[in-house]
Amino acid sequence: MKTPLIIEQHFHGAYGVNFNTASAEDISELAIKLRGIGIGGFFPTLVTDSVQNIKRQIEEIKRASRFTPEILGIHLEGIFINPAKKGIHNPEHFLTLTVENYKRIEDEFIKIVTLAPELDEGLIDYLKSKGIKVQAGHCTGWGNIDAATHTFNAMAPVSHRGSSTALSALVDDDAYAEIIGDGLHVSDEALKLFFKSKPTDKVILISDSLPITYSTVKETVFADSKIYYDGKKAVSADGTIAGSTKLLPEIIQILGKKGLFRPEYIENVYRYHNLEPQGEITWDNEFNIISCSPAAEEEF
Say what the pTM is.
Answer: 0.95
* DSSP reduced 3-state for 27: helix
Strand partners, 120: 97
Q: How far apart are CA 265 and CA 271, in angstroms?
A: 10
Overall residue count recorded for the chain in this entry? 300
Whole-number pLDDT of residue 63: 98
Whole-number pLDDT of residue 275: 96
pLDDT, tens only, 152-183: 999 999 989 889 999 999 999 999 999 999 99
Q: How far apart are CA 75 and CA 96, in angstroms?
A: 18
Q: How far apart are CA 98 and CA 126, in angstroms?
A: 9
Whole-number pLDDT of residue 298: 43
Whole-number pLDDT of residue 36: 93
CATH of 2-215+242-293, one of 1.10.10.10, 3.20.20.140, 3.30.300.180, 3.40.50.620: 3.20.20.140
- H helices within 103-187, ranges in order? 123-129, 165-171
Whole-number pLDDT of residue 103: 98
Whole-number pLDDT of residue 293: 86
Whole-number pLDDT of residue 277: 87
Whole-number pLDDT of residue 297: 44
Q: Taking a C-beta distance cutoff of 8 angstroms, is the pair 110, 73 a contact?
A: yes
Whole-number pLDDT of residue 232: 87
Within 47-102, strands assigned E span: 74-77
Which regions of the chain are under pLDDT 50? 295-300
Q: Taking a C-beta distance cutoff of 8 angstroms, is the pair 255, 206 a contact?
A: no
